[in-house]
Amino acid sequence: MSVKAQFPEEISFEGEFVRQEDLFRGWVSADGRSEYPVVAGRYHLYVSYACPWAHRTIIVRMLRGLEDAIGMTVVDPIRDERGWAFRDGPHHTKDPINGFAFLSQAYLASDPAYRQRVTVPVLWDKQTKRIVNNSEDDIMRMFEIDFEPLANNKIDLYPVEHRQGIDELNRQIYESVNNGVYRAGFATTQKAYEHAARRVFEMLDALEERLASRRYLFGPRPVETDWRLFVTLVRFDAVYVGHFKCNLRRIYDYPNLFGYLKDLYQIPGVADTVFFDHIKRHYYVTHDDINPTRIVPIGPLQDLTSPHGRAHLGSSAVLVEDESNAKKEVGT
Ligand SMILES: N[C@@H](CCC(=O)N[C@@H](CS)C(=O)NCC(=O)O)C(=O)O
């Protein structure tokens, strides 16, 4: 029996989903060595609220207080064969920077020979009128480190003392969980699906244990790894359990992971980056190979604002210094 794959060019012989590489890897830097200097108002972020990879960059932009320095435009969550589009609708708009109708225009303006999938997030340079970078790993790091001169909040998401541990855990979480849910959902053979789905839950089980004694993955302060995990956890029960068939357990069934998810969600500003309407409509309507009826499920009932119950693990030290260098506690 032949099976139609969501992204046929990224399916291996064994029916596994093998994600394409990001192609634009320019770097904005304050050290004068890059062709992209750190300048307020020069760069613009194109994102989807539905996409977990884009969501990471939205969260870091917010946590670092970069909203005034870096503009942002949100695409329509519904993606048809023409790809991501700019339209006016609930929490998404037309493109105010270039007047593009489709994100593909940004890719073709940067590289007329571009033939790969057109993805979010995209960091756009308004001066050279081209894409600087379309890798969310890179964009996160630029916002965390290189945009320091423009950041209103002095929050450190990549602390020097944990960098090795962060890189290693990022890699494990990416392979098994962040990308693991996609590998389960986009698999075209039973074997490839089962392999990926089982790995998702092996890692979630390990993280459940790790979070029994620590408020966040590396202690009292959320770091970049926590936000990389958050974007998958927050979509899990609403989308990945049903749509991607990752249904051994829900996040709701893991006491530590569910409390941790709520704890992160309740950090000021974070809930304003989460749009379940975009998330659900995007996955269930756009991936019509997996969900041909395009029906969007009504659930789940899930209250991320209810008490997280994590305070017994120590106070949350989400310390942010504002411009006056006054430390303010933004955790709960
Ligand atoms: N750049 C990301 C991937 C970004 C990505 O795949 N985004 C998805 C949305 S969640 C996308 O834009 N897909 C467009 C498409 O599939 O045509 C990575 O390094 O893994």
Which pLDDT does position 19 carry in this prediction? 75
Say if residue 135's pLDDT is above 80: yes
Please report which residue ranges of 243-296 form alpha helices under DSSP H.
Answer: 255-265, 276-286
Helices (H), the chain: 52-63, 104-110, 136-141, 163-173, 180-185, 190-210, 224-235, 255-265, 276-286
Whether the per-residue pLDDT at 12 is higher than 90: the answer is no
Q: Which pLDDT does position 17 carry in this prediction?
A: 80
Lookup: tokens for 120:
């979010």
Which amino acid appears at position 215 of this protein?
A: R
Q: Taking all residues of the chain, what is their mean pLDDT, rounded to a whole number?
A: 93
Task: Give the whole-angstrom CA distance, residue 136 versus residue 310.
Answer: 29
48 Cα nearest atom in ligand 1? 9
- Average the pLDDT over 307-314 and give the result: 93
Q: What is the mean pLDDT of residues 214-236?
A: 97
Taking the C-alpha atoms of residue 229 and residue 139, their distance in angstroms, rounded to an integer, is 16
Length of the chain (residues): 332
Residue with CA closest to ligand 1 atom 10: 51
In whole angstroms, what is the distance from residue 12 CA to residue 199 CA? 18
Tokens 């019509």 belong to which residue? 288
Q: Over 70: is that where the pLDDT of 193 sits? A: yes
* Predicted confidence (pLDDT) at residue 268 exceeds the cutoff of 50: yes
Q: How far is CA 122 from the centre of its chain?
A: 12
Instruction: State both tokens at 249.
Output: 């357990």
pLDDT for the residue 332 = 40
pLDDT for residue 296 = 98
Residues with a CB atom less than 6 Å from ligand 1: 19, 22, 51, 53, 83, 117-120, 134-136
For the record, the structure tokens of 121 come out as 């997030």
- Pure H helices in 8-51: none
Q: pLDDT exceeding 90 applies to what percent of the chain? A: 86
For residue range 56-77, what is the model confidence (pLDDT) as tens digits? 999 999 999 999 999 999 999 9
CB-CB neighbours of 195 under 10 Å: 16
Q: Residue 2: its pLDDT value, please?
A: 56
Q: Which of 48, 51, 57 to mutate to test the pocket of ligand 1 (most atoms within 8 A of CB)?
A: 51
For the beta carbon of residue 268, count every other beta carbon within 10 angstroms: 15
* Predicted TM-score of the model (pTM): 0.93
Structural tokens at position 301: 């009932």
Q: What is the Cα–Cα distance from 67 to 265, expressed in whole angstroms?
A: 19
Q: Which atom of ligand 1 is nearest to the CA of 119?
A: 12
**CA-proximal residue: ligand 1, atom 5 (nearest):** 119
Q: How confident is the model at residue 281 (pLDDT cuts 50, 70, 90)?
A: very high
